[in-house]
Structures are given as structure tokens and as C-alpha cells.
Structure 1
Amino acid sequence: MVLRVLAATGVATSLFGSSALGGSQPPPPPPPPDRIVIDSVAAAGSGCSAGTAAVAVSPDNTAFTVTYSNYMAQVGPGSAPTDFRKDCQLNLLVHVPGGSTYAIVSAGYSGFASLAPGASGTMRAGYHFQGDPRTIHKTHHFKGGFNNDWQVTDTVDTAALVFAPCGEERSLGIDTELQVDPGTSSPGATSFLGMDSTAGGIKTVYHLAWKQCP
């Protein structure tokens, strides 16, 4: 599936005050005045089949949002053997204004989970730039006996930020995975972990840090 994003829409909150870098360091450069454009998105995986993932860029260039509408892992009666695990690999071609580059500084994920007592759920995320062996991985675990909305935020330390190479077009890869383990739950129990919301889709927001190229 290929999505083309030509207009920047959506609203996001910037996390890049000076406190993010420590009080002894100067604040990071502001976002460039021109908008970033995500020219295309290739989506593949059991959690983001054709037509169920979309991308938008915030008006202030500090974030972009990936929205899913059918991303859920499930076990229990009526579930297929492969439903316990769902994944999605996104490949984004991001154009940034000349003289600037960016890194992912934080990512917020949300959804809904219904995990029977004894069951568990796992959410994994990672991203990397094309041709760069460095990949940042984050993992979150959810215990059974849970039936509610969930929200997690991953933050990358300043020293670990991975910036896109200056003057080169490198695609950004974002990989996510949901998995449910029935564990010791009742054989007749249904458990699921989904990236969704009452609006019909989850909005995973990736916040950007900016840097001037030499």
C-alpha cells in the first residue's frame, strides 16, 4: 500500500523546550518555517492492511501522526491462530526544508485493551533511517485483569538521538507490533490489545527534534 501525503494537517504539542536538553544547554533550533512533506508511505503488515493507515504532519512542523483504523491482536474463541500477533512496517519518504535535519525525540501510542486475568499483552516499537544500522527499540508490557484505555510514551535521550543525514534523502522506517499471550487465562476467555479509539482510529504521534546542517 502506498499513501501520498501532500498537505500538512492535524494538531500536535511540541516537546522541545530547553528542559528537554537540560538547563545548562541552549534550546534546540526552532522548526524550519517551511512545512515538511511526507511524500509517500509504504505500509505493510497484518496490522495495517490497505486503507487502514494514514499519515499527517502538524502545522508547526514539530510532529507527525500515524493513524490506524484496524490494528488489533486477539486470542480466544473465534480468533484465528495468527491473530495473537499483529505488526506494521511503515516506510516514510520525508522531505525537509533545505539546511535542516530531524530526529524522532518521542513517540506517544494509545489504544484499548481487554486482557483476561492470567493473560498478558506486549507492544513493541522501533525506528531507523535507511542505511543506518542504529535502531531504537522500546517495549511495553500489559498485565491481565485489565479492561481500559492505555497510553504509553517513549522518549529518546538527547545523546541517543539519531538524525537523518544532511543533504541526503533517506526513508524513515517505523516498525510496531502488538502481541497477546493467553497465559493462564480461562480457555473460554477472549483477550485483545488494540491501537484504536472511540473515533475509529488511533493516532500515534512522533515528535521531532531539529538541527541545522553544516
Structure 2
Amino acid sequence: MSGVLLARGAAAALFASAFSAQGVSSAPDVPPEKIQVSVKTVNGSGCPKGTAAVSVASDNTAFTVTYSDYLAQVGPSSNPTDIRKNCQLNLGVHVPQGFTYAVAQVDYRGYASLQKGAKGTEKASYYFQGSSDTASRTHDFSGPYSDNWQTTDSTEYSALVWAPCGQDRNFNINTELRVNAGTSATGTTSFMAMDSTDGGANTIYHLAWKECP
């Protein structure tokens, strides 16, 4: 049985319907000039220096964050601090003049191996520099579980938080993985990862666009 928590197709349908309700397409007013996204600062035990990277889709509809050493675990060979890993990314985003964007949907992916009785948590929040509006979501997993995982967070069009027009504001992403042994058997190991050692695990931020007034 698939370990994916939320069917991406259903989430995509919800995402599209949110735009349709406003009378616009799922990718309105996408700027023709490619946006630029760069990593300004990286902090956290889940993303040591050189283990997080960002790439932008060629059609400007999304950007992807890839991790290569992001794993939380609990067990006999683990350190006490391994039960929680986090990553704080400060991204510089340059948007073509005359456009603004918002994050409409985020897909988080990874792999988890949780023993019976153990629990795992994936938490994420993001906000624009200088803004008090923070989007935050938490997803819980319960063992026994040994499979790829995926969660999808979608925001209705009317509730999107848009970057200020005419200004390049840094975009901040905070993520966290946590594993709790719970009632799992003594001597067993449980872990939860959000890395890309196999090239297939990454976080995708889907963008909505509109022209500035």
C-alpha cells in the first residue's frame, strides 16, 4: 500500500478549483522573465552547510528545495539531540518588475521508518521578510510505518499572502522533523527523513502570480 498521506491529484484539483472560483487559470499572468532564487543564509541541524539547494522551474510556476542530510531518529545508536532536526532557510527572491507572487501549495516528501508505537512529525512555516503573516502546518505520522511519505499544504486563492509589489523581500522557510519513541520496543530505531539521497525526495513550492496594480 502506498505510504503517501495525501493524494497529490486531489490536492492539485483543490488548488485549481481555488483559482477557477476567482475566474482565473491555475497559472495566471506568469512573468516571461525567469525569476531568481538564491540561498542567503542556512541554519539548523537538519541542513548543515552545503546540504540544501534551490532550483527554479523553467516556467516560473514553482521552485524546489532539495536536502541531502535531513534526518531525525531515535534509538540505541542515536544521540539525544537526534530526535529533532530543523532547518531555517533565508532565500533571496528576485521577481520581474510588474509582478508579485504567493505560495499557493507546498509538497513535502521524504522517507520514514517508524516502529509500532513510535511517532513522527513534520512541521513547516514560511513568511516574507518584514511580514507578520506566517503560514504554518503540522503533520503527524504513527508507526508501524516504513515507506515514502508526502504531505501537501494548499491555500485558497482568496487567502494567499502576496509579496509586496516593487520590492525584493527575502522568503523565509522553517521546517522541522521530530521522532518520538513512544511505546515502541526498547532497542529499536525509528527515523524520519526529508532528504534526496535517491534524487526523489524534495520540497516543491508552487507559485501563484498576478500583475501589480
Fold conserved between structures, TM > 0.5? yes
CA deviation vs aligned residue, 1:137-191 (integer Å, no higher than 9, x gap)? 0110000100111111111122221110011121100110000010011121100
Q: Which runs of 5+ in 1 are unaligned?
A: 1-13
Stretch of structure 1 that moved more, 195-204 or 115-124: 195-204
Report 1:148-159 matches (<5 A).
Answer: 148-159=147-158
1:89 aligns to 2:88 (yes or no)? yes
Aligned residues: 201
Cα RMSD after superposing both structures? 1.9
Q: For the residues of structure 1 that align with 2:75 and 2:39, how far apart are their CA atoms?
A: 37
1:21 aligns to what SS in structure 2? helix
Q: After TM superposition, which residue ranges in structure 1, 4 or more long, deviate above 3 angstroms?
A: 14-18
Report 1:1-214 matches (<5 A).
Answer: 19-23=17-21, 25-27=23-25, 29-197=28-196, 199-200=198-199, 202-214=201-213
State the percentage of identical aligned residues.
54
- Which residue identity lines up with residue 20 of structure 1 in the other structure? A
Q: For the residues of structure 2 that align with 1:18 and 1:39, how far apart are their CA atoms?
A: 28
1:202 aligns to what SS in structure 2? coil
Q: For the residues of structure 2 that align with 1:139 and 1:122, how far apart are their CA atoms?
A: 7
1:16/1:144 CA distance change after superposition, 3 Å: closer
Q: For the residues of structure 1 that align with 2:119 and 2:15, how far apart are their CA atoms?
A: 36
Give how far 1:63 is off. Answer: 0.3
Q: Which runs of 5+ in 2 are unaligned?
A: 1-11
Give how far 1:26 is off. Answer: 3.0
Asked if structure 2 preserves the Cα contact closer than 8 Å seen for 1:106 and 1:156, the reply is: yes
1:33/1:84 CA distance change after superposition, 3 Å: same
Asked if structure 2 preserves the Cα contact closer than 8 Å seen for 1:76 and 1:189, the reply is: yes
Q: For the residues of structure 1 that align with 2:130 and 2:195, how far apart are their CA atoms?
A: 32
The normalised TM-score by structure 1 is 0.88
